Structure 1
Amino acid sequence: MLHTPTLFVGIDVAKKDFFVCVLDDQRQVLHSSALPMEREGFDKLLTLLSIYPKESLVVGLESTGGYHHHLFRFLTSQSFRTFVLNPLQTRTFSRLSLRKTKTDSIDAHHIALFLLSQYHSLEKPFRHPCPELRSLTRYREKVVTLIAMVKNLLEDAIFDCFPEILEYTTGYPKSLLSLLLAFPGATAIQKASESSLEAFFPPNKRGRKSRLSITKIKELASSSIASPDSAEENVLQNIISQLFFLQEHLEKLDAHIQSLALQAFPTEIQILTSVPGIGLVGAATFLAEIGSISRFENYKKLIAYAGLDPAIYQSGQSSTTGHISRRGNRHLRRILFLLARSVRRFVPAFGEYFNLKFAQSRVAKKANLCVAHKLLRLLYAMLSHQTTFDPFRLTSFPQEVNL
C-alpha cells in the first residue's frame, strides 16, 4: 500500500548538472542544491534522500529531451516513487507565480510545488515492459532520417556527374547505384567496355523491360553534359557507400526490433499485424511507444497521449476547434501518420475515408491526419478487446468503429 507523501522533491535537469529542491507538505524548503550529472552527483542525491523515510518521498523531474533518462533510471532502481512530468504542465503551473525570475533552482522549486499540489491527479508511474524496444525504434527513426538526408545528397551528386540518368530511374535501385559506385559518372561509363557493364544489368525476373539498358546508358554517357571531375566522382562514390552502409544497418536493426517485439508483445503483434498495411516493424514501433494499452482508460486518453486531440478555444459564448494539440508523444504521432498512409492503401474503408476528408479539405496531410485519428481508435478497440482485424466490423465506418 502506498503512503501519502509528505515530502516532495523537485529536480530540474540539465545536460551537465541538476538542481534539487525538497519541500515538506507545509511548503517549507528543507533542502536546495545543485549536483553534477555524474556518478558523484547521483551518490550525493542518494545520500541526501536517505535521511528521509522513503515512503514519505515523491520525486518529480521534467522530460528534458533525454537528459533525464539516466537520473530517472537511477531513482527507480533505488525504489523511489518518481514521476516524469510534462514540461508544458510545469511551465503553465510556474506562470501562476507573480515572480517572473527564472533560474534552475527556482524551476526545481516550482516542480516540487507542482508535485505537492497535483500529486493525486498524476498518472501512476509506468514501468515499460520492454524499454530496449523503445530505444531501438527511436534510434531507427533517426537512421531512417539519415537515409533520407543521404538520398537528397545523392541526387545532387548524380546530377553533378551524370544528370541524364536521373530521367530514367526512380528510387535509386541497388543495381544502378552499384554501377555508379564502380563507374562514378558519365565519363567513366563512356570509357567502360560493355562486358564490364553487363554485371550491373541482371535479367529482369518479372519479365518487365527496363528503361535502362547497356546500349542506352552508353548512349546517355556519350552525350552527357557533365564534365569529368575526379572530386565530384569521389563525392558520389562516398555518398553511395554511406547509403549502402545505412541500408544494411537498417536491415539488421529491423531484424533485432522484430525479434524483441515478438518476445515482449507476441499477442499484440499478432493483433496489430492482422490489419492490412501494418507490418511487424510498424506494429513494434507503435507498441514500443504506448507500452501497454491498459495504461489508457479509453481511446480519448490514447488520442491525447499521441497529441492528436484538437485544441479547443473558448471565450464567452464562442467555442472553436483548432489544429491538433501536438502536445503528446511525437514518436507515436509519427508512426501513426505512417501507418495511416499505408493502411488506407489496403483497407477500402480507410481509403474511402481519406478521399472523403481530402475532398473536404483539399489538403492531403489533413486528410491523412483524420485517417490516423480513426485508425488509432480502431487499434485501441482491437487491443482492448484482444481481437484481430475484421473488415466486416467496419460496416458503420467512417462514422464510428464498432468492435
Structure 2
Amino acid sequence: MNTSISPAPADVLGIDMSKTKFNAHLLPSHGGGQGREFANTPEGFHALDQWLRQLLGSSGRTRLRLHAGVEATGNYALPLLMHLHARAHIVSYLNPRRVKDFTRCLGRKAKTDPVDAHDIALMVQRLRPSSWVPPPAERCELQALVRHRRDLVAQITANDNRLKTVHCHTIITSLRLLLKHLRKLLKDIDGKIERHTLAHFSLQRDARLLQSIPGFGKVVSATILAEVPRMEDFSRARDLVAFAGMAPTTATSGSSVRRRGRLSKEGCPLLRHVLYMAAMTVVARKNTLRSFYDAMVARGMARACALGALMSRLLRIAFGVLKHQTPFVENFARLPSS
C-alpha cells in the first residue's frame, strides 16, 4: 500500500527483483551512479547495507536514508521491502506497467537486469512516487489465506472442467479423488479465514460492517480486507476505485478517434473478481442497488457497462462503511429524521 511522502531524500536506489537475486543501482545526490547484483537472501540484504555504507558513508551522515524503488514482482520483493523499511529508508513499490511505460519514454533498446535497475532509479529520482508502508501482520496473514483460497478455487474449476471432457476411467477416478481432496482443503481454508477474522477485533468489526452491504458475504468481505489492508491511506472513494482498476478510461483525439470507454484494470484482479460476483448477486435480487443497475440500463447503457458501474458503486459504499464505521442502510434517505 502506498501513501504520500515528505520530505524525500536526495539519494535514490533502483532495484530490479527476481526469484534468487536482485540488481541495485544507486544514484547519489552528488552525481554519478553505481550498480551491483545481490542474492535475494538475508545475507544479500546485509551485503546491500554494507555496499550502501561504503558508497554513502563518506558524506558524514550518521544514518543513511534514501528513497528506494522496487518493481512489484509478486512475493519475491516483500522480504527486501520489509528490510529496507526497517532501516528507515523510504520505499516505493512500483507498478510494473508504469515502469515499462517510463522505460519506453527513455527510448531504451536493451533490456537487462542492470539496465532495468538503473531505469527504476531514474524513475524514482524524477517522479518521486509515493511510499510503501507494510500492512499489519494480521492483514498480511489474511491476504495469504485469501490468495491461497483463490488458487484452490482455480484448481477445482480447472479439474472440474477437465473431468467433463475425459473418457478414460482411470483418469476420471483420479480427477474425482483430486477434486474431493481440493474441496476438503477449500473447506479447511474457509474455516481458517473465519477463525482468523474472529480472532482479531478490527477484522471482525470491519467484516461485519462490510457484510451489511447487499451482495457482500464472507468471501467478498474477507477479500476486500485482505487486498485493501490500509483503508486509511485513501482520502477519497475515487482513489480506492482507481486502486482496484475500475476507474473508467477514455481515448479521444481530433474528430476521428472516439474509442469506447472501459475499465483501466490496472489494480488487483482478485478484488475486481469478487466485486463482479457481488454485483451479479445484487442484480439477481430486488433492492435499491438493483434499481441503480436498472436505471443505467434504461438510459441506454450496455448491461456489461452498467455492471461495471454497479461494481464501482459497491466499492464506494464499502469505502464509506469502513471510513465512517457505520453499517449500510439500504433506504437511508427515506428514514424519518429524529
**Among the aligned pairs, what percent are the same residue?**
28
**Does the aligned pair in 2 maintain the 1:336–1:372 contact within 8 Å?**
yes
**C-alpha separation in 2, matches of 1:316 and 1:25:** 43
2:45 to 42, 45, 55: 42
TM normalised by structure 1 equals 0.72
Count of residues in Structure 1 that have an aligned counterpart in Structure 2: 318
CA gap of 1:292–1:346, structure 2 versus 1, over 3 A, is farther
Aligned-residue offset at 1:283: 0.4
Q: Please give the alpha-carbon distance, in whole angstroms, between the structure 2 residues aligned to 1:147 and 1:285.
A: 19
1:102 positional shift:
2.4
Cα 1:377–1:321 change in 2 (3 A) is farther
Q: Does 1:298 pair with 2:215?
A: no
Task: Kindly indicate whether residue 269 of structure 2 is the aligned counterpart of residue 260 of structure 1.
Answer: no
Deviation at 1:24, TM superposition (A): 1.6
> C-alpha deviations, 1:270-328, integer Å up to 9, x for none?
21011233112220111111112211111111111001011122435787662111111
Are residues 379 and 256 of structure 1, via their aligned partners in 2, closer, same or farther at CA, if it must alter by over 3 Å?
A: same
> What is the deviation of 1:69?
2.4
Aligned with 1:101 (options 106, 110, 115) = 110
2:97 maps to 88
Q: Which letter maps to 1:271?
A: L
Establish whether residue 237 from structure 1 lines up as the match of residue 173 from structure 2.
yes
Secondary structure at the residue paired with 1:328? coil
Which of 341, 358, 377 lines up with 2:280 in the alignment?
Answer: 341
Unaligned runs of 5+ in 2: none
* Max Rg structure: 1
Q: Kindly indicate whether structure 1 or structure 2 has the higher relative contact order, using CA contacts under 8 Å at least 6 residues apart.
A: 2
TM-score, length-scaled by structure 2: 0.85
| 1:250 alignment counterpart | 186
What is the aligned partner in structure 2 of residue 220 from structure 1?
none
> 4+ runs of 1 displaced by more than 6 Å?
none
* Unpaired segments ≥5 residues, structure 1: 161-231, 396-403
* C-alpha distance in 1 between matches for 2:135 and 2:327: 24
Residue identity in the other structure for 2:82: R
User: Per-residue displacement from partner, 1:131-189 (whole Å, max 9, x unpaired)?
Assistant: 111111111111111111121122234xx3xxxxxxxxxxxxxxxxxxxxxxxxxxxxx
Check if 1:126 corresponds to 2:124. no
Change (3 A) 1:123 1:260: farther
The Cα shift of 1:79 comes to 3.7
How far, CA to CA, are the matches of 2:210 and 2:64 in structure 1? 40
Instruction: Please point out which of 64, 67, 75 is paired with 2:76.
Output: 67
Q: Are the aligned partners of 2:11 and 2:28 in contact in 1 as well (CA < 8 Å)? A: yes
Q: After TM superposition, give the deviation of residue 98 of structure 1 in Å.
A: 4.1
* 1:54-108 Cα shifts (integer Å, max 9, x gaps): 4431211100233322322332344432221112222222223244332221111
What residue identity is the alignment partner of 1:261? T
Residue type of the alignment partner of 1:28: G
**Which amino acid in 1 is paired with 2:169?**
E
- State yes or no: 1:28 paired with 2:35: no
CA contact (8 A) 1:340 1:371 kept: yes
Equivalents in 2 of 1:18, 1:75: separation in Å?
14
Residues 185-242 of structure 1: CA deviation (Å, up to 9, x unaligned): xxxxxxxxxxxxxxxxxxxxxxxxxxxxxxxxxxxxxxxxxxxxxxx32322221111
- 8 Å contact kept, 1:2–1:55: no
Amino acid at match of 2:133: F
AA at the equivalent of 1:106 = V
Q: Specify the SS of the correspondent of 1:322.
A: strand
Aligned counterpart, 2:293: 354
Counterparts of 1:192-341 in structure 2, within 5 Å, are 232-262=168-198, 263=200, 264-316=202-254, 322-341=261-280
- Tell me the distance in 2 between the aligned counterparts of 1:107 and 1:36: 17
Query: CA 1:20–1:336 in structure 2 vs 1: closer, same or farther (change >3 Å)?
Result: same
Letter in 1 for 2:316: R
